[in-house]
Amino acid sequence: MKIKDVIDALDGFAPLPLQEDFDNAGLQVGLTEAEVSGALLCLEATEQIVDEAVEKGCNLIVTHHPLIFHKLRQVSDADYVQRTVMKAIRHDITIVSMHTNLDSAEGGVNYMIARRLGADMQSVKLLGEHEVNGIMGGLGIVCQLPEAMGAADFIDKVKETFGVKVAMTNELLQRPVKRVAICGGAGSFMLPQAVEAQADAFLTGEMHYHEYFGHEQEIQIVVIGHYESEQYTINLLEEIIKAKCPEVRTCMTELVTNPIIVR
């Protein structure tokens, strides 16, 4: 099976037209006609990730976050992006990214977050629903928990599920949490739609300071970190590849690429 066959399988699940205008998902580095020796799955490509791919005999790296997000004016050793591009080319490794298209896709990143929380998956609905070339997408979702729970218990469940030491929240909601809106990563822009959807809680990875104001007793905000919210995306990537390309060997990275350290 060729690398392009794996890319086609990924694109079939989360078509590139679903990506946002600012994004650069899809092929990042390398050639696609080569036979795939293995796919290393990770959130982002770094020099160390390329080393891991070489060590594990994988000539394909599938990331969530694009390696090349901003225009490259040169390819040198000036920064980690350029060095990673050079190292991947040197080792004949192809890098492909599934970013906001995978965020928006039905069954995508936010669905995985809901699954981890044990939500009723039959209740999931897209937030910010839009159609591109006949394909439905939405950068957020709203879902129902199996049972209502107190706000503090919900926050504790989120922390335990995603292995975080600290969750940033507004004041505790004085009503039970049952309906939850989710937008993994930097999802604060979805807060108004979460409120409009009458969600009891909004779970995301990043929010700005002033965005917490004005929602007291309206919605329980729970922010757990960008990396932490999306960490199980690599499991989703593995599921997609295994479903369409079962003969392809997949490896989930053993490296933590989160640059933020909580002490």
The series of mean pLDDT values per 10 residues for the chain, 263 residues long, is 97 96 97 97 98 98 97 93 97 98 97 97 94 93 98 98 97 98 97 98 98 97 98 98 97 97 88
The pTM score is 0.95
- pLDDT at residue 177 in the model: 98
Calculated CA dihedral for residues 95, 101, 102, 105, nearest 10 degrees: -150
By DSSP bridging, strand 60-63 and strand 250-252 are unpaired
Dig out the tokens for 56 from the structure.
């594990």
Q: Report the pLDDT value the prediction gives residue 62, as an integer from 0 to 100.
A: 98
How far apart are the C-alpha atoms of 118 and 113, rounded to whole Å? 9
CB of 36 closer than 8 Å to CB of 52: no
Cβ-based neighbour number of residue 10 at 10 Å: 25
Residue 262, pLDDT score:
87
Pairing outcome for strands 201-204 and 140-149: unpaired
DSSP secondary structure letters along 209-257: GGGGTT-TTT-EEEE--HHHHHTTHHHHHHHHHHHH-TTS-EEE--S--
Q: Which of 255, 263, 257, 251 is nearest to 40 (CA)?
A: 251
- Dist. CA 49–CA 68, nearest whole Å: 15
CA 81/CA 32 separation, integer angstroms: 20
